[in-house]
Amino acid sequence: DGGITQSPKYLFRKEGQNVTLSCEQNLNHDAMYWYRQDPGQGLRLIYYSQIVNDFQKGDIAEGYSVSREKKESFPLTVTSAQKNPTAFYLCASSIGSSGGDEQFFGPGTRLTVL
């Protein structure tokens, strides 16, 4: 299952703290994505990036921030402005960004707010 990795696997945050989730890929993919997964719901897109130094908001970007300084890295910061951050976070990448490309997922990070 190599290719795209996420760390940490589990993360605990106190209210009011910012935390950063790591996502790295060695697939030479142009596009990367962050999703949030809650029980009984599908994957909801937080942010995506089609190319280095560029990214776009998804459906639920409020309270999150990202950067894409390197092709292989797309870290997600969950800020204190995110009111309900406890969830499972999945990072994905695809070879292109025009649609119709398989998305490869990382193993996920489970974030819990204490």
Q: Which residues bind other proteins (CB under 8 A)?
A: 1, 40-45, 48, 56, 58, 90, 97-100, 102-103, 105-108
Nearer to other proteins, 27 or 105 (CB): 105
Nearer to other proteins, 16 or 99 (CB): 99
With 0-12 CB in 10 A as exposed, 13-18 as middle and 19+ as buried, what is 112? exposed
CA distance 89 to 27: 20
Quick one: which of 73, 72, 71, 86 has its CA closest to 15?
86
Shortest gap between Cβ of 107 and other proteins (angstroms)?
5
Nearer to other proteins, 48 or 74 (CB): 48
